[in-house]
Amino acid sequence: MAASKSQWLTFSITLALASTAISFYLSRRKTKSKSSGEVNKKIHELEASLKSALEKCAAERQGRIRAQQALRKSLSGPTSVNLELNSYPMAPIAIVHSCFSTRNGTPRQPLLVPLARASLIFDSSRVPPASLEGLEGYSHCWIIYVFHLNTDLEKLWKPSSQSKFKAKVRVPRLKGGKMGVFATRSPHRPCPIGLTVAKVEAIRGHILLLSGVDLVDGTPVLDVKPYLPYCDSILGATVPDWVKEDRLLTVASVNFSEGFSSSLADCWTMAEKKSLYASPSEFEILIRQVLSWDIRSISQRSRPHDFPVHTETGSTVDDASTLEHYQEDEAFENGFSAVIYHLILEGLDVSYRIDSKCNVIVENITVSSYTQTLS
């Protein structure tokens, strides 16, 4: 709309200038001309033709608008009065290949883990690499994606009368209290679309390399837009108190077990080819950065460590806690039972313990039996 308006303006201005130029030219000729009556006639003729050209142009524009309206109307179908019968055929333009193999351990916010890398692999049959030209000029970009791991996605294909989404979601920070879905970032929304921001690292053909991501491997991407600090960052923006209470917890320390390095070296030969990381030591820094935040859910955190913890699968809770943590408890020789947590990065299973003072010990790393989108 804006484009056609500006084209229209340009066109009008051009015509107006042309008309002025002609008038000027004719007025200069006037002195030499046989009769000024003839010139005036010519001017009137030109003015009339300009007027009709402008009218024709306006009519064409009206016609275009009417055609667009008709198209929209026909798309929505003759029987549909309700908005809900409309759908828009949007398909992912790219798939995320990220270091986070599962939701467990995927950061709760973007930019928390600087070394969290992902490549967005664009479908080059639909989106030519030239579409990415110029994006490297921005430090950050927005990513609009689909919550493809929602267990209730099949609802989307049901008639809306049968696919009622929950208007309110449980918010862990409110200790079971509920909040309207649009006051949260819950993945369980009428349109399961997520929004995040990431650092633009590089563009290689049809691949966009990012860091600081909070995206799980395999995430379908709907759109990418540049981050504009002058309008996307709002000074003095406020949030409700219950959101302020969701402090992200940092752990006291992260230490690695003695045998860890050699275990990582063993795994690395398998992981190396597909890795977003250059070396085992860089990968170790990633592990350290991910585990420097307490990535356990609130319920896992609040339970005593010698108590078996069960995963809350499929529960409708806020974004921050739907990350499914799977764990098993293991008995130790001294009789003290401690929970072993697992974090899966690039298909490697990192096992760790955390004590009551939030010191993390990374126990071991093995090739995970978990095989999702890594093939």
Choose the stretch contacting ligand NAG; rule: CB under 6 A; options: 28-36, 59-67, 257-265, 325-333. Answer: 257-265
With binding defined as CB under 6 A, does residue 364 bind ligand NAG?
Answer: yes
When the beta carbons of 169 and 343 are compared against ligand NAG, the nearer one is 343
**Residues contacting ligand NAG: total by CB under 6 A:** 8
Per CB under 6 A, does 36 bind ligand NAG? no
Q: Is 262 in the site for ligand NAG (CB under 6 A)?
A: no
Question: Does residue 359 belong to the site contacting ligand NAG (CB under 6 A)?
Answer: yes
Facing residues of 197 across strands? 142
Structure tokens belonging to residue 124: 């080059």
> What is residue 336's DSSP assignment?
-
Residue 160 interacting with ligand NAG (CB under 6 A):
no
d(CA 212, CA 200): 9
Between 27 and 371, name the residue whose CB sits nearer to ligand NAG.
371
Question: Whole-number minimum distance, CB 330 to ligand NAG, in Å?
Answer: 11
Of the candidate residues 134, 180, 259, 314, the single one contacting ligand NAG (CB under 6 A): 259
Cα–Cα distances in angstroms (integers) from residue 142 to residues 159, 182, 194, 197, in the given order: 31, 19, 10, 4
H/E run at residue 72: helix 36-76
In whole angstroms, what is the distance from residue 268 CA to residue 366 CA? 10
DSSP 8-state assignment for residue 247: P
Q: Which helix (H) or strand (E) holds 18?
A: helix 2-30
- Residue 315: CA count within 13 A, CB half-sphere: 20
For residue 100, the minimal CB distance to ligand NAG (Å) is: 21
**54/361 with CB nearer ligand NAG:** 361
Q: β-pairing, 207-211 with 193-204?
A: antiparallel
Residue 80 lies near ligand NAG (rule: CB under 6 A): no
Q: Is 253 in the site for ligand NAG (CB under 6 A)?
A: yes
Q: Which of 14, 62, 124, 255 binds ligand NAG (CB under 6 A)?
A: 255
Q: Which residues bind ligand NAG (CB under 6 A)?
A: 253, 255, 257, 259, 263, 359, 364, 366
